[in-house]
């Protein structure tokens, strides 16, 4: 059960507060176009997955405007004589919903994605997107259930080996003798080439900070202790990749802003989840058509400030 689903009644209340007054009781109309109506219930279903959209009047107004534009466009397309024998209503409805939600997100969540050339270059040099290294390592592992004395002994050996390498001894020879990485030791610790997000973060950060021929300090990962030497650096060209990298950074800024916005919404909602309701939820997910009593359908799965989410409402989204 995802926590953001508990916010749907909040959104529904916001929608209902802005609709027209001509709609029949219980069927509140938010917008009308060419004889068709967008009800509060339908609007809530469209917005349900978009927890970053607050229940505010401007959200409903934007939704209504977008719905009218896209619905009329889809209606005109469906009346084209070349489409009279094809039923595309379900596909069109899903596309309309996606376009409306995208437009709403852009209007409600405003993010400053401006980034200076200087800051962009600094990020580029720190991250080196598309860059790769050819490196070697020596791995020393801790004994299983190691005592503090054993841990200190392994660390001491790692520091001693580093001093020997920095003092002029062959990295490859020491790797063959001491490394416990059975796949690379015989080759002098040769790891081949690798890029970002291919190694443990601690290992990767240390390796990418090295120049060619440099040996790292002792680096610890879940595998044990490492000594790393970079043999070759293949670096990206900012002049070639700068525009692409700028787009990546801006997208990252937007995603971080949206995540923070959603986190604030969830925190403010005071969500409480009934974990005892997980079993019927799993059963419904497997068989949405399974028979349930009215009492079961009315069971609250989630409660929050101002409302709750029932099992029946959950089934409506499957």
Asked whether residue 219 falls in the same domain as residue 158, the answer is yes
Question: Is there a domain that residue 310 lies in?
Answer: no
Distance CA 156, CA 144 (A): 18
* Residue-wise pLDDT tens digits, 242-284: 788 788 888 888 788 777 777 776 777 777 777 776 677 777 7
Rounded to 10 degrees, the C-alpha dihedral 259/265/268/269 comes to -130
Q: What is the domain count for the chain?
A: 2
Query: Are 39 and 23 contacting, i.e. CB atoms less than 8 angstroms apart?
Result: yes
Comparing C-alpha atoms, which of 67, 16, 74 is closest to residue 41?
Answer: 16
Go through 88-98 and write b for each residue having 16 or more CB atoms within 10 A of its CB, e for each that does not: eeeebeeebbe
pTM of the model: 0.45
* Residue-wise pLDDT tens digits, 36-93: 676 766 666 666 666 555 555 566 566 666 766 666 666 665 555 554 444 545 555 5
Question: Is there a domain that residue 282 lies in?
Answer: no
Question: Is there a domain that residue 198 lies in?
Answer: yes
Q: Which two tokens stand for residue 216?
A: 């790292």
CATH number, domain of 152, equals 3.10.50.40
Query: Are 200 and 223 contacting, i.e. CB atoms less than 8 angstroms apart?
Result: yes
Mean pLDDT of 288-301: 77
For 201, the domain range is: 131-235
- Domain stop point among 53, 74, 108: 108
Distance CA 176, CA 252 (A): 42
DSSP E strand boundaries for 174-286: 190-195, 219-221, 224-234, 272-273
Asked whether residue 2 falls in the same domain as residue 104, the answer is yes
Asked whether residue 141 falls in the same domain as residue 73, the answer is no
| φ, ψ (nearest 5 deg) of residue 39 | -85, 160
């Amino acid at each position: 059960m995802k926590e953001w689903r508990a916010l749907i009644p909040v959104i529904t209340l916001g929608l209902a507060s802005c609709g027209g007054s001509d709609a029949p009781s219980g069927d509140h109309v938010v917008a009308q176009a060419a004889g068709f109506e967008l009800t509060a219930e339908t609007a809530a279903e469209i917005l349900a997955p978009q927890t970053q959209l607050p229940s505010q009047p401007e959200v409903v107004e934007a939704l209504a405007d977008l719905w009218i534009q896209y619905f009329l466009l889809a209606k005109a397309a469906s009346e084209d004589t070349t489409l009279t024998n094809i039923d595309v209503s379900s596909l069109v409805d899903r596309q309309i919903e996606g376009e409306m939600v995208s437009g709403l997100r852009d209007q409600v969540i405003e993010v400053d994605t401006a980034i200076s050339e200087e800051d962009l270059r600094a990020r580029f040099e720190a991250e080196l997107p598309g860059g790769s290294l050819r490196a070697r390592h020596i791995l020393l592992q801790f004994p299983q259930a190691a005592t503090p004395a054993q841990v200190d002994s392994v660390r001491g050996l790692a520091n001693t080996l580093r001093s020997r390498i920095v003092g002029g001894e062959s990295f490859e020879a020491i790797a063959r003798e001491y490394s416990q990485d059975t796949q690379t030791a015989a080759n002098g610790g040769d790891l081949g080439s690798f890029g970002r997000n291919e190694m443990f973060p601690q290992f990767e950060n240390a390796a990418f900070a090295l120049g060619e021929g440099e040996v790292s300090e002792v680096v610890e990962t879940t595998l044990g202790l490492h000594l790393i030497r970079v043999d070759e650096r293949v670096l990206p060209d900012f002049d070639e990749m700068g525009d692409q990298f700028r787009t990546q950074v801006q997208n990252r800024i937007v995603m971080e802003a949206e995540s923070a916005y959603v986190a604030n919404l969830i925190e403010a909602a005071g969500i409480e989840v009934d974990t005892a309701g997980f079993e019927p939820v799993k059963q419904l997910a497997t068989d949405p058509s399974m028979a349930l009593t009215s009492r079961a359908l009315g069971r609250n799965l989630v409660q929050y400030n101002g409302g709750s989410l029932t099992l029946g409402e959950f089934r409506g989204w499957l």
